[in-house]
Amino acid sequence: MSKTNKVLIIIFFVLLVITLGEIGYYFFYQPVNKSASTTNQSPSPTPQTISSEKNQAINKDTLDNLLFLKKGIVKSSLLTTECQGSIIEIDDKGGTNSAGQFEYKLKIKIKSDSGDTNSFYYNDSEINKIKVFYLDKDQKTPYFLNKLKVGDKILIKDIYNLLENIDNNLIEEEIIKL
């Protein structure tokens, strides 16, 4: 066997070992590609990535159990929430939410006394469903959405139909200036 043939055989075996190593890595050591996050399909005020934060308001196990319900069984599924805080931002110019998931016409961001914040996003049809009130001596007096300003303490009461698409699931909403 000539010297050139020996060199070629050695190069062949080196390349074979490298190739087998790469194949082994691909099948045995490469991390499984899991989805980094799950999109929250709850009400439209704040669709965003579900995180594992300790201060998550709605129990994730409860949401997971709702996903097992079958379409032909469920006749109604309504979600009623009340959120309270002080307005720290109002955006009535519209745009796309920070996650790029959808477009909005109005964004209201509130901050609770404990420091938690949430943003509520509304499209055109949802804005038309919002009723705004001013609380005066435990009596609700009609108020205007465009009169709300940063610093106002508000209570947001909403009802969502969980069987509808996220773009069209708001049944009714009240914003009460406290």
Pairing state of beta strands 130-136 and 139-142? antiparallel
Closest CA to 162 of 81, 50, 48: 81
pLDDT digits (tens, 9 = 90+) for 74-121: 999 999 999 999 999 999 998 888 777 788 999 999 999 999 999 999
Band the pLDDT of 52: cuts 50, 70, 90. Answer: low
What are the residue boundaries of the structural domains of the chain, listed by start? Answer: 1-34, 60-177
Closest CA to 135 of 110, 112, 153: 153
More confident residue, 178 or 56: 178
What pTM did the predictor assign? Answer: 0.65
Q: What are phi and psi of 16, to 5 degrees?
A: -65, -45
pLDDT digits (tens, 9 = 90+) for 139-178: 999 999 999 999 999 999 999 999 988 878 999 999 999 9
